[in-house]
Amino acid sequence: MAVVVLKNYNQIIGEVLENSDTKLILLIRGKEKRTFFKNELRFFKVLNEYDTVIRGKYMFPSQAKTGYFLTSSALTLGKRKLSLNGSYFLYTDAQYSISDNVDLGFSSMFGAPLSTTFKAKYSPSSTLHLGVKAYASWSSYIQLSTSIFAGQALITNGSPEKNITIGPGFGVSRVDGDNMGILFSTFGIKSRISQKLTLVGEGLFVKETQSRAQFLGIFSAMGGIQQHIGRKQMMSYGLGVVGYQFISFNFWGIPNSDDELFPMFYFGYRKTFSFKK
């Protein structure tokens, strides 16, 4: 199968009958044969398992394909790319691809905290992607003695435009010389629904390993959309909740759950740059 985009921006998808240096012959809907001269087309591509077609339309892939809102998939940017993300117009996150399968990241908000990340990916098949991600963060001038180091395993199933990810991890936080273990897990899902929009959902759970048993942990859940502006720009809008949960026991030993929930809104803008060899 192949897709062509004509001068008037109309898309045509069909079975490839001939593909030469100058022309492309397609069988449209199994019955109509059409010839296209490549120098007269805006775009053409022979489709493969990595491409996405929705309701008979080829989806031009977004270069900002590595994550959801605040959480990440196992996917990497691809070779020779730089991606800048601004959340709430305050928090800045930069990702740079060292190779097709390795990304480096740096993030901060007015210099605090200062965070860096390293992510590597291995894909045993076209739809299964396994990643490891390492984090290092320092609170900087907000609290000089506080830092966090963590590692995460990422398992992503699907294509860059439609996938699901789980990501268990373990870390250590250091505050005033005291170390505390952290267990966490992330979940993300996304589905491209049109040339302009992708539906996104994600969740996060964090628990200190040495905390008292009554404290179950901190959690968040959010859903929303990513709006594609061409292939290199994207706006993200999310709405959800963040909270924590305690378990307390009364005089008779009967447990009682105490949940605190707060609304959360996410807004972000991402711009991706490609560099020629």
Q: What is the pLDDT of residues 157-199, one digit of tens each?
A: 999 999 999 999 999 988 888 888 999 999 999 999 999 999 9
Of the two residues 127 and 88, the one the predictor is more confident about is: 127
Is the pLDDT at 90 greater than 70? The verdict is: yes
Give me the chain's average pLDDT, please.
Answer: 89
Domains of the chain: 2-47 (no CATH), 81-274 (2.40.160.40)
One-letter amino acid of 153:
A
Q: What string of DSSP letters covers 108-170?
A: ESTT-SEEEEEEEEE-SSSSEEEEEEEEEEE-GGG-TTEEEEEEEEEEEEEETTEEEEEEEEE
pLDDT band of 89, cuts 50, 70, 90: low
Which residue is it, tokens 């302009």?
196
Of the two residues 3 and 73, the one the predictor is more confident about is: 73
pLDDT (0 to 100) of residue 56: 86
Q: What string of DSSP letters covers 49-100?
A: TT--EETTEE-PPPS--SBSSSSB-S----SSEEEEEEETTTEEEEEEEEET
Is the pLDDT at 31 greater than 60? The verdict is: yes
Of the two residues 247 and 87, the one the predictor is more confident about is: 87
* Euclidean distance between CA atoms 37 and 20, whole angstroms: 10
pLDDT (0 to 100) of residue 51: 86
Over residues 113-123, the mean pLDDT reads: 95
pLDDT digits (tens, 9 = 90+) for 216-253: 788 999 999 999 998 899 999 999 999 987 776 666 77
Model pTM?
0.85
Instruction: Give phi and psi for 217, each to the nearest 5.
Output: 145, 180
Over residues 122-134, the mean pLDDT reads: 96
* Cα-based angle 163, 238, 111 (whole degrees, multiple of 5): 100
- Find, among 5, 26, 13, 27, the residue nearest to 56 by Cα: 13
Burial of 213 (0-12, 13-18, 19+ CB in 10 A): exposed
pLDDT band of 29, cuts 50, 70, 90: confident
Over residues 78-105, the mean pLDDT reads: 89
pLDDT (0 to 100) of residue 214: 63
